[in-house]
Amino acid sequence: MEQPRGELATLTTDRLVLRAPRESDIDAIFAACQDTEIQRWTVVPVPYRREDAEFFVRTLAPAGLAADAEYIWCVVESGTGRLVGTQAVTRKPGDPNAASVGWWTAKEQRGRGYTVEAARAVARWALTDLGLRRLQWLAYVGNEGSRAVAERVGYRPEGTLRSYAEQRGVFHDAWVASLLPSDLD
């Protein structure tokens, strides 16, 4: 299923809808990103202000999509529309057939399997509909929650990159794993 350029595919699972960020998501994104664990393991600004959520929804997500470089979904519960988290696929510079993935999950939504469910849908979309040859997951060493999600989705560990991933001016060691089309079940 080919998506028209400039439109983000809406993905659905048994319990979730993954769709483009909307104005109505700003307050929920702002609230979720107050969580110290999201701030610890991602590159969201600290402190996270409402203006940051507005920038994410109004500028960052649409600009990445328009450039065909980054695809960002808000993940919401099917029945309630309540924000679960976000998922992103970012093309690798210099290699349009490979991309990195990332996600965060609102504190009150963790432990329900939602992030694994969403990450599987995103991986299938990226490797089939988008036609990528490789997805790469990267997380700061110690981010066991993200690592567990990646493993359950089927990402294969490739090692630890020393002093690799930058966060607010500091470089951290990072775990790396990949998922290829042949890894999809």
DSSP states along 11-61: EE-SSEEEE---GGGHHHHHHHTT-HHHHHHS---SSPPHHHHHHIIIIIH
pTM of the model as a whole: 0.94
2 three-state secondary structure: coil
| Torsion sign, CA atoms 133, 69, 92, 103 | negative
Q: 2 pLDDT exceeds 80?
A: no
Read off the pLDDT of residues 8-21 as tens digits, 9 standing for 90 and up. Answer: 999 999 999 999 99
pLDDT band at 3 (very low <50, low <70, confident <90, very high): very low
Contact 160, 173 (CB under 8 A): yes
> For the chain, how far is it from start to end, CA to CA, in angstroms?
19
Read off the pLDDT of residues 75-111 as tens digits, 9 standing for 90 and up.
999 999 999 999 999 999 889 899 999 999 999 999 9
pLDDT, one tens digit per residue, over 33-83 is: 999 999 999 999 999 999 999 999 999 999 999 999 999 999 999 999 999
**DSSP 3-state of 67:** coil
Q: What percent of the chain clears pLDDT 90, i.e. is strictly above it?
A: 93
Is a pLDDT exceeding 90 seen at residue 185?
no
Q: What is the pLDDT of residue 5?
A: 55
User: Left, alpha or beta for 4 (phi > 0: left; psi -120 to 50: alpha)?
Assistant: beta
pLDDT of residue 96: 87
Counting Cα atoms < 13 Å in the Cβ hemisphere of 159 gives: 4
Q: At what angle are helices 114-124 and 144-153 packed, to 10 degrees?
A: 50
Domains annotated on the chain, with CATH: 11-183 (3.40.630.30)
